[in-house]
Structure formats: C-alpha cells, structure tokens
Amino acid sequence: MIEETSTVVNDIDSDKNDNKTSYMRPNILLTGLRRSGKTSIQRVIFTKMQPSQTQFLKSTPHLTINQFSCGSFINFQVQELPGQLHVFPSLQFPNSDGTHNGSSSLYDDDNTTHLVSGGYDMERLLKRCNAVVYIIDAQDDYSQSVSSLNMIIQSGKRVNPRLRYEVFIHKVDQLSEEAKIETQRDIHNQVREHFADVNGGTDSWPLTSFGSNPNTQSLLINFHLTSIFDHSIFEAFSKVIQKLIPQFNHLEDLLNYLISASNMEQAFLFDIQTKISIATDSSPTDMQMYELCCDMIDLLINMSEIYGRSNDNVVQTTEDDGIINDEQSYDNPDDEDDENEGHIVNGIHESTNSYSNYSFSTTPMVTSFASMTETITEPTSNVFDSMSSSVIKLTGGRALYLKEINRHLALICVLREEALTKQAIIEYNVNQLKKSILELFHLTPQTSSSSVAS
Amino acid sequence: MRKKVLLMGKSGGGKTSMRSIIFANYSAKDTRRLGATMDVEQSYVRFLGNLILNLWDCGGQEAFMECYFAAQKDNIFKNVEVLIYVFDVQSQELDKDLHYYQSCLESILQHSSQAKIFCLIHKMDLVPEDMRESLFNERQSILTNVSKPLQCSCFRTSIWDETLYKAWSQIVYQLVPNVKGLEKTLTNFADIIDADEILLFEKATFLVISHCTRKPHRDARRFEKISDIIKQFKLSCSKLTAAFQSMEVRNSTFACFIELLTPNTYVMVVISDPSISSEVTLMNIRNARKVFEKLEKDVSRN
C-alpha cells in the first residue's frame, strides 16, 4: 500500500524521466521473503544503525523508496519490496490498493505489462530497475525463498533481460564455514537447475525478442554470503554498487595506474558515510584488508571528532547526508555538482600549491559557488575536510595511507613502508588521481543530460 | 617491582571479563566465551616494563568467598597495593554484596591498611541512560559510608563503552612509579614542540598513564575514548596478523601523531598549528625518546 504521497510522487517522477533517471540514478530493487532482513540491511549500511538494534525493527508494510548517494555523485535509489506481498502462484500480487493501480495505468504504455490486477506490478518494477538484490535468510528453510527468487528471475528475464541479480545469502554469522559454502552451493544449484529446465523445455519465454544482444540471454546472477554483524554486508553491497557505476571501469583503471606508479599494493575508493567501496584496483581484494580499511575510516573520523572540530564551526545546514531529498535533486540536477565543484576548488587551493594554477573549464561558475561550500557541512562528517589524511604503519612493513578525494570519498592505499618514504611522489600521484576522479564525475552528468536533451 | 592487585566481587559480576579486555586484548564480544573463575586465578602482567602487576582474580562464588575470609585470609590480603571491588549494578542482593565488601575491608584494614580501594559499579549499560547518573550517585554515597574509615574511589563501568578505560586508567595511575617526574617531563616536551596536548599510553593496554594539556578541550572523556578507539583498531589489525605500529591523522584544524616512545609506552601528540610539518613533529618525538628512556631507567634503578 503506497500511502505516503511522497512515495507516489517519486514514482511518477522517475517514470517521466525514465531515460534520464535510469542513467543518473541506478535503481536497486531490494526484496526477499518477510523477515529476511531487508530493512535491517538498509539501516545498518545507510543510517549507521547498530546491528544489535535491528531486532527491534518493525516489518515494512509497503513498498518504500529511498534515495541514497554515495560519494555525493553516485546517486541511487533503493526500492524495498516487502516480502509478505509475494504470493506468487500466478505471478500476481495480492492487492488492496486501488489508488496505485489507477496511477500505474497512467504510464502503462507497454502492452506486455498487464499481469497484475493491482498493487505492485512486479514486471514494471523489474523493468525500471538495474539490479535486484534478493535476500535469503540462510538460518531458515530457504526452499520457499528460492522458488520465489526463481519467479522473480523468470519475470525479470522477460521484461528486462539485462537485469542483474545479486543474491545475498543472509544471516550467515551463525553458520560454520562449511555450512556457509554448502548453503551457497545448494542455492546456486537450485537456481541453475530451475533455469536449465525452463530454457530447455517449453519455449514460453522468447528471450531473444527482447534483448538486442544475444549474450544477454545468460543470466547475470551473483551470490554473496552476508551478515550485518560483520563487514560482509558492506562488501557485498559494494560489489552491487560497483557494477552499477558507469564509470567503474575508468575508476579501476585510474587506481591501477596509481598503484603501479607509486609502488602500492592495493587501492580502495571509499564512501566514508556508508563504507561502501565504490572502486578498487583490479587485484583481488582481501576481505580482511577491506575490513581494516573500514576501521581506519572509523579511526580517522573518531579522532577527528575529538580533536579536529574547530570551535567556530557553528554553521550547520539541514541537508540530510546519506539520503538526499529527492525533489531537490530532480529540480536542479546540476546543483549537487556545483557544490562539489566549489568544494573541489577550495580543496585544491588549500591543500597544495602545485595545483593553484590548475583551473576548471567553468571557472566563473566555480567562484560563485565557492562561498556556498562553507555553509554546506554535514553533521556527521564535517570533520572530514580537504586536508583530511592519515598514515598508519603496521608491523611487517606494511602501511595504510588515506587521503580525502571529496567530502564523501576517501582513497585508501595499502603499501610497503619503503614505498611510503617517497611520500612526496605519492602525494603528487594521489592529487593527480583526485583531479582525474573529480573530472570524471564532473563530466559525466553533463554528457548524460545532453543525451537526454537531444 | 611487583605490585599486588586484588580483584573481588560477586560471582558473574564481570571481573574476569574486564581483566581480559584490559590486559589480554579481548574484545567485549569475546568475553561471552569466558567461564566462571574457580578459586583464585593469579596472573602477572608486565606493565611499563619493570613494573609487574600481580593480579589476583578471586572467584566470587559464596563458597570461595567464605574461604577467603577464613583459611586463606593471610595469604590473600597480605601486601595488597590495590583492591578493586566489582559490584554488579543489577544485583538483587545489595545487602549481601555490601556485607562481603565490608568483610573484605576488615581484612584489608588488618593486613594492608595502605591499600588503595576502588569500587566499580559495573554493567552500567544495562541501566537506562537517564537513570545512570542518579543510580550511580546513590550507590556511591552508600559505598563511601560503608567504607569508613577507609577511602574508596567509585567508578561506573561497562565493557561496552569507554568507561572501563577511565576507571582502569585511574587505577593504574596509582601504581605508576614516579608519576610526578613523568608529568613534568611531559609538560616540558609539550612546551618545546608547541603541542596542544600530549598523552602517554602504556603500550600493551593503551591506558593513559600521564598527560599534559596546554589548550583547554571541551570533551572531558576524550582520554578513555582514545584508548577505546586505538584498542579497537589494534584488534582489527590483529586479524591481519599485523600489529599497529604508529599513526598520523590530520585534517585542516589538527594533526595527531601516535608513536612508540619508550619500549613500554606510546605517546600521542596533538598539534593544531598547520605550519608545523609532520616530519618536524616526528623528529621531535624521536629526539624525545632518549629523555624518556633515561627517565624510565632511572625509576627502575631506584
């Protein structure tokens, strides 16, 4: 039941600008059976709720849409579809909501979507989203959950063959290592077998007619073992987000250049609010190293909150950090970028002299917004500023190096202590990287909006 | 130099848990694994190099308790430097707890009347936030009354937040030899390098053993918070089979360095002057090492 007017407004909005939003604001459909932990996951990742507190969460009665932003320029939308609404036998949903049905007919331009008599139109949801995150409670009997997943994949294949499925085998913290692997294999097999059957059997799903590319027939599905009580949920969600970022490959390349040029072992790009790593270099990531990087961010923020808060810092705005007000960002989608830009320039002026001669192509605009950034501070991370950096040395000759990229993003590098002796070179390289990343994200929204305009 | 520390209190009160967190690098979650302590568990903790803490973790079940005040009395209560008595804030039998506490004090008075006494009102996390203050004050006044003629210091603690570090910092502060000399040297050091604040940590426990503040700070609980933050990070390092060695954190308003100072201590230097570069401060810390090492040696010789 969509009762909140805001939710409905979001719905219509995003439909109107379908092209635009699908590019700028990737859509993630988060679903799974009831009590599988959907809301908990969102709360833990995006609102920093303590994992132990999630047991008090109430079940979510209706489809909720949340806007999130990662690193300030990666915006995405998470639609949480409550599990208890999935009564699937006929691929239909129980309905009790007439109003939504009415509004949905407004933009039912496609004739294939008329399966649902009302309520949640699964196919429409699937069509609009870029990834489905399906949560399976591994501590429970998951056969029903898997068949529900199969149903979703089936209808997804029809309406959106390029859709990615990310299956979180959740609540694995109570399982032994063996049980985890066994569960993952079992679920994987069940899904695979199901689709081997369907494809081999009746030709009821004419897949090729939908996808322009024959390769899209293959199912894009990944399995992750997750738990909110350790870092695995952040790691899994990072992978989901990474695949949705159009610039991901470029980011990966940039990080690869950086580590080879500066003799580093690994590099991560983190959103400091959510601790989602939006990019890493292409070497295989070590889960433990990822965790340590997350803890390093905590350390930096905690220490900065104690000593790094200047006393005259009284200006606080109402802008909510993790969750961006939807209306605002739709009305003027460039607004955010401008803020960033002001911030970028500020940062460069403050941090190094070597970049003082560097200028953006849009300098006049920048100066007008530079003053704005002063007022835009966030309650939780206003201690994270353009000069934020940290070096931690570990025994065994390893070191961690953290540097601010923008007010949401931090670069963390793992390197040998010997490499750190050439800190000036590293700093130069990191500043180059910072410049490139900001340019990358500065340009992309413009190209996208121009493509929409044409 | 060996100093005897008695850890007493009712069974299940959390004595072994807090000992494991402070001295054996357990995380708060790990303490669930701990079982009940049988009789007395003695452990030696090397603290500040030549100072050895001899911890007597006394199991709190009634059968043992009776025994401590009878047959084992001389053995247990002789040469005690510090008595730490742990009260479970949720205990339903306050009178009985107080009764044991008093018997304990009697024995202390008899055998080691110079001992310092600390009462920890433990498991405070189980009390609703708004009631903690008043409940603690109430218990504190009861305990101060009961303890007469001896003096006791009361702390509220919980293994789930930084309060534990506050209490233990105060406790070990009593045991550190030559505290005054250390403080003086630290102040001198801070003046020379123009630091806002310098903290001295014991290496293994990361408890603050001395500090010097040259610029007032709004957060009075920051020391224990820092102990907690660093300890947490050390724990995550250990998962990687690496150990924490040194740290530098900065933003536009401050720079903070944590470096090894002597073989037994870490120093934390906070500087807010952005014109002082990291290298200068690091070199200053390196140079200060000799002075502090000498100080530590002098103390051990005496």
CATH of the domain at B32: 3.40.50.300
Q: How far is B41 from chain A (nearest CA, A)?
A: 32
Cβ–Cβ gap B237/A292 under 8 Å: yes
Instruction: Name the domain boundary from A197, A220, A244.
Output: A244
**Which DSSP letter does residue A285 get?**
P
Please check whether residue B237 touches A, CB under 8 A.
yes
Same domain, B169 and B266: no
Of the residues B155, B173, B191, the one at which a domain ends? B173
Same domain, A273 and A138: no
B222–A390 C-beta distance less than 8 A: no
Confidence of residue B268 (pLDDT cuts 50, 70, 90): very high
| Residues A279, A269 contacting (CB under 8 angstroms) | yes
Residue A454 belongs to some domain of the structure: no
Per-residue pLDDT, averaged over B190-209, amounts to 89
| Residues B162 and B47 both lie in one domain | yes
A91, A142, A157, A353, B23 from A114: Cα distances, Å: 11, 30, 16, 62, 66
Chain B neighbors of A289, CB-CB under 8 A: 240
Cα distance from B30 to chain A (closest Cα, Å)? Answer: 14
Whether residues A154 and A271 fall in one domain:
no
Q: Which residue has the tokens 């803890």?
A: A295
Q: How many CB pairs under 8 A join A and B?
A: 98
Is A304 near chain B, with CB under 8 Å?
yes
Q: Identify the pLDDT of residue A412.
A: 92
A295, A306, A386: best to mutate for the B interface, most B CBs within 10 A: A306
Q: Would an 8 Å CB–CB cutoff place A374 in contact with chain B?
A: no
**Interchain proximity A288–B251, CB inside 8 Å:** no
The answer to the question of residue A371 being in a domain is: yes
Calculate how close chain A gets to B200, using CA atoms only, in Å.
Answer: 16
Domain count, chain B: 2
- Do B184 and B278 belong to one domain? yes
Contact check, Cβ <8 Å, A296/B233: yes
User: Looking at the complex, does the CB of residue A385 fall below 8 Å from at least one CB of chain B?
Assistant: yes
Strands B116-122 and B152-156 turn out to be parallel
* Statement to judge: residues B37 and B139 lie in one domain: yes
B113 touches chain A (CB under 8 A): no
Inform me whether the C-beta atom of residue B251 falls under 8 Å from chain A C-beta atoms. Answer: yes
| Beta-bridge partners for B45 | B53
The pLDDT value given to residue A9: 35
Query: Does residue B191 share a domain with residue B148?
Result: no
The ipTM of this complex is 0.84
| Cα-based distances in Å from A298 to A237, A304, A410, B9 | 18, 10, 12, 35
Residues B22 and B153 both lie in one domain: yes
Q: Which two tokens stand for residue A372?
A: 């704005």
In tens, the pLDDT along B152-170 reads: 889 989 888 888 888 988 8
User: CB–CB of B233 and A393 under 8 A?
Assistant: no
Residue B6 pLDDT more than 60?
Answer: yes
Q: What pLDDT score does A184 carry? A: 87
Per-residue pLDDT tens digits of chain A, which is 454 residues long: 333 333 333 343 333 333 333 345 678 888 888 778 888 888 888 877 888 777 777 877 777 777 777 655 667 777 777 765 544 444 444 333 433 333 333 333 333 333 333 445 677 778 778 888 888 888 888 888 888 888 888 888 778 777 888 888 888 888 888 888 888 888 888 888 877 755 544 333 333 333 333 443 567 788 888 888 888 888 888 888 888 887 788 888 889 988 888 888 889 988 888 888 888 888 887 888 888 998 999 899 889 888 887 654 433 333 333 333 333 333 344 444 444 443 433 333 333 333 333 333 333 333 333 333 323 334 456 788 888 889 999 988 889 999 988 888 899 999 888 888 888 888 899 988 888 888 887 755 544 444 433 3
Contact A308 B254 (CB under 8 A): yes
Instruction: Give yes or no: residues B148 and B291 share one domain.
Output: no
A150 and A231, same domain (yes or no):
yes
- Chain B residues in contact with A398 (beta carbon < 8 A): 242
Query: Chain A contacts of B227, Cβ < 8 Å?
Result: none
If contacts are CB pairs under 8 Å, which of residues 342-371 in chain A contact chain B? 350
Contact: A384, B253; criterion CB under 8 Å: no
Instruction: Kindly state whether residues A235 and A295 are assigned to the same domain.
Output: no
Q: Which of B242, B248, B251 sits opposite A387 (nearest CB)?
A: B251
Asked whether residue A374 falls in the same domain as residue A420, the answer is yes
Structural domain contains residue A116: yes
Please count the structural domains in chain A: 2
Sheet order of strands, B2-9 included: B40-47, B51-58, B2-9, B80-88, B116-122, B152-156
B229 CA to chain A: closest CA distance, Å?
6
Kindly report the CATH number assigned to the domain that includes residue A309: 3.30.450.190
Q: Give the integer Cα–Cα distance in Å for B233 and B244.
A: 8
Computed over every residue of chain B, the mean pLDDT equals 86
**Nearest CB to A385 within list B226, B245, B251:** B251
Residues of A in contact with B252 (CB under 8 A): 308, 350, 385-388
Q: Same domain, yes or no, for A97 and A237? A: yes
| B236/A contact by beta carbon, under 8 A | yes
Q: Are residues A239 and A330 in the same domain?
A: no
Of A210, A226, A244, the position where a domain reaches its end is A244
- Residue B206 half-sphere exposure, CB side, CA atoms within 13 Å? 26
Decide if A314 touches B, using CB distance below 8 A.
no
Residues B94 and B197 in one domain: no
Residue linked to tokens 């009347």 = B113
Alpha-carbon gap, residue A69 to A91, rounded angstroms: 32
Q: Is A295 on the interface with B (CB under 8 A)?
A: yes
Residue with tokens 């007017």: A5
The whole-angstrom separation of Cα A442 and Cα A339 is 11
Domain that holds residue B168: 2-173
Pair (A253, A219) in one structural domain? no
Q: Determine whether the interchain pair B246/A392 forms a contact, defined as Cβ–Cβ distance below 8 Å.
A: yes
- A391 contact B CB<8A: yes
- Same domain (yes/no): B205, B118: no
* pLDDT score for A402: 92
Structural domain harbouring A204 = 5-244
Reported confidence tier of residue B174, pLDDT bands at 50, 70, 90: confident
- Both B16 and B121 in a single domain? yes
Residue A21 in domain? yes
What is the pLDDT at residue A313? 43
3-state secondary structure of A438: helix
User: In this structure, are A207 and A298 located in the same domain?
Assistant: no
Q: At what angle do helices B62-69 and B94-111 cross, to 10 degrees?
A: 30
CA distance A90 to chain B (A): 47
Say if A395 is an interface residue toward chain B (CB within 8 Å): yes
Question: Which pLDDT score, from 0 to 100, does residue A42 have?
Answer: 84
Q: Does A299 touch chain B (CB under 8 A)?
A: yes
- The distance of A337 to chain B (nearest Cα, Å) reads 23
Inter-chain residue contact B239 with A395, CB threshold 8 Å: no
Interface test with A, best of B218, B230, B252 (most A CBs within 10 A): B252
Average pLDDT over residues B213-228: 86
Q: Give the closest-approach CA distance of B204 to chain A in angstroms.
A: 15
Q: Checking DSSP bridges between strand A74-80 and strand A64-70, what pairing results, if any?
A: antiparallel
Measure CB to CB from residue A394 to each of B219, B226, B244 and give the nearest one: B244
Shared-domain flag, residues B81 and B223: no
Q: Of the candidates A23, A32, A17, which has an alpha carbon nearest to the alpha carbon of residue A79? A: A32
Distance from CA of A308 to the nearest CA of B (A): 5
Nearest to B18 by CA among B159, B169, B223, B118: B159
More confidently predicted of A114 and B224: B224
CATH number at residue B257: 3.30.450.190
User: Can you give the three-state secondary structure of chain B, one letter per residue?
Assistant: CEEEEEEEECCCCCHHHHHHHHHHCCCCHHHHHCCCCCCEEEEEEEECCCEEEEEEEECCCHHHHHHHHCCCHHHHHCCEEEEEEEEECCCCCHHHHHHHHHHHHHHHHHHCCCCEEEEEEECHHHCCHHHHHHHHHHHHHHHHHHHCCCCEEEEECCCCCCHHHHHHHHHHHCCCCCHHHHHHHHHHHHHHHCCCEEEEEECCCCCEEEEEECCCCCCCCHHHHHHHHHHHHHHHHHHCCCCEEEEEEECCCCEEEEEEEECCEEEEEEECCCCCCHHHHHHHHHHHHHHHHHHHHHHHHC
Return d(Cα A165, Cα A116) in angstroms, integer.
22
Q: What is the mean pLDDT of residues B28-40?
A: 83
Residues of chain B with C-beta less than 8 angstroms from the C-beta of A373: none
Q: Does A393 sit within 8 Å of B246, measured CB to CB?
A: yes
The last residue of one of the domains, among B142, B173, B204, is B173
Residue in chain A nearest B260 by alpha carbon:
A393
Domain boundary among B117, B148, B173: B173
Which residues does residue B80 pair with via DSSP β-bridges, in sequence order?
Answer: B4
Residue of A nearest to B229 (CA): A299
CATH of the domain at A97: 3.40.50.300
Q: Does A393 touch chain B (CB under 8 A)?
A: yes
A90 lies in the same domain as A221: yes
Domain end: A244, A278, A305, which one? A244
Give the Cα-Cα-Cα angle A11, A20, A233 (nearest 5 degrees).
70
In this prediction, residues B141-156 reach a mean pLDDT of 86
Q: What angle do CA A420, A423, A426 make, to 5 degrees?
A: 95
A351 and A427 fall within a common domain: yes
Angle between helices A143-159 and A177-200 (to 10 degrees): 40
Angle at B111 between CA B97 and CA B91, to 5 degrees: 10
Q: How confident is the model at residue B269 (pLDDT cuts 50, 70, 90)?
A: very high
Task: Answer whether A288 sits within 8 Å of B248, measured CB to CB.
Answer: no
